[in-house]
């Protein structure tokens, strides 16, 4: 039973345009939401996060939106660059004393020059 | 400032053998979590160590065990290896707290079981 779903296995975008990656979750008790980027042969690299008390967080070209009523999370990358081509994972946790992360299956983003 | 380091980078074992993977956390971090990433999947939580104790465990059998040392580094041990244990094993470190703190990942150890 997947608690975190990334329904698009892949996404192709032109350089300079917006990339929108989506993530759905099932449990309203999740407290903290993160996006990681992963290149082949490397570990996941933290990109941006948002807590459940906010609905938007921005860091440079990256913005994460949280819609708690829809249990939906999205990552916007504007403008997209070829170096953004990677697998993007969303992850959630319950907060509290332990912060076990639950990951989605990832979306492969390809930014075409 | 050194990030999370893991060793070895690659490992080949045969069924039934035992393996030990190592992790050094990011400077200043005291909590280490281990994840298994199978091909085409997201990382799956194995367990987390804090103050040298296993604090939480995912849905993995007892063949998977770990240890945390006083310097916060950690080991993951897998006994009686199965073909299905072939995966990328990721270590992540964080600073204990309320729980929202970000986990930072190492490059992983790729294990192949033949």
Per-residue confidence (pLDDT) for residue A96, from 0 to 100: 63
Per-residue confidence (pLDDT) for residue A31, from 0 to 100: 86
Q: Do A98 and B56 touch (CB under 8 A)?
A: yes
- For residue B58, the distance in angstroms to the closest alpha carbon of chain A comes to 9
Per-residue confidence (pLDDT) for residue B61, from 0 to 100: 97
Per-residue confidence (pLDDT) for residue B33, from 0 to 100: 95
Partner residue facing A101 (CB), from B4, B55, B103: B103
Per-residue confidence (pLDDT) for residue A97, from 0 to 100: 61
Per-residue pLDDT reduced to its tens digit, B66-91: 999 999 999 999 999 999 999 999 99
For chain A, give the percent of residues with pLDDT over 70: 96
Q: Do A43 and B33 touch (CB under 8 A)?
A: no
Per-residue pLDDT for A65 more than 80? yes
Partner residue facing A43 (CB), from B42, B101, B105: B105
**pLDDT mean over A23-38:** 92
Q: Please report the residues numbered 80 through 99 in chain A whose beta carbons come closer than 8 angstroms to any beta carbon of chain B.
A: 89, 91, 93-99
Per-residue confidence (pLDDT) for residue A92, from 0 to 100: 92
Residues of chain A found within 8 Å of residue B41, distances taken between Cβ atoms: 105-106
- For residue B45, the distance in angstroms to the closest alpha carbon of chain A comes to 7
- Surface-to-core class of residue A82, CB atoms within 10 Å of its CB (0-12 exposed, 13-18 middle, 19+ buried): exposed
Residues 6+ apart with CB under 8 A from A48: A34, A35, A57, A59, A62, A63, A64, A75
**pLDDT mean over A58-82:** 97
For every residue of chain A, DSSP letters joined together read --SEE---SEEEEETTS-EEEEEEES-TT--EEEEEEE-TTS--EEEEEEETT-SEEEETTEEEEEETTTTEEEEEESS--GGG-EEEEEEEE--TT----EE---EEEEEE-
């Amino acid at each position: 039973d997947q608690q975190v779903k990334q329904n698009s296995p892949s996404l192709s975008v032109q350089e300079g345009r917006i990339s929108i990656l989506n993530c759905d979750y099932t449990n309203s008790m999740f407290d903290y939401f993160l996006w990681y980027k992963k290149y082949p042969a490397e570990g996941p690299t933290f990109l941006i996060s948002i807590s459940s008390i906010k609905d938007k967080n921005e860091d440079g070209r990256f913005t994460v939106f949280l819609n708690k009523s829809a249990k939906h999370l999205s990552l916007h990358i504007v403008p997209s660059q070829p170096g953004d081509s990677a697998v993007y994972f969303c992850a959630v946790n319950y907060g509290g004393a332990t912060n076990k992360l639950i990951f989605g299956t990832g979306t492969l983003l390809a930014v075409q020059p | 400032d050194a990030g999370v380091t893991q060793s070895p980078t690659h490992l080949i074992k045969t069924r039934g053998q035992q393996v030990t993977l190592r992790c050094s956390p990011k400077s200043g971090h005291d909590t280490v979590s281990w994840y298994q990433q199978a091909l085409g999947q997201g990382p799956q939580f194995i367990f987390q160590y804090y103050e040298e104790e296993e604090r939480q465990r995912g849905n993995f059998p007892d063949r998977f065990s770990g240890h945390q040392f006083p310097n916060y580094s950690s080991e993951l041990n897998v006994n009686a290896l199965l073909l299905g244990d072939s995966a990328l094993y990721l270590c992540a470190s964080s600073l204990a707290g309320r729980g929202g703190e970000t986990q930072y990942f190492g490059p992983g150890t790729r294990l192949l079981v033949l």
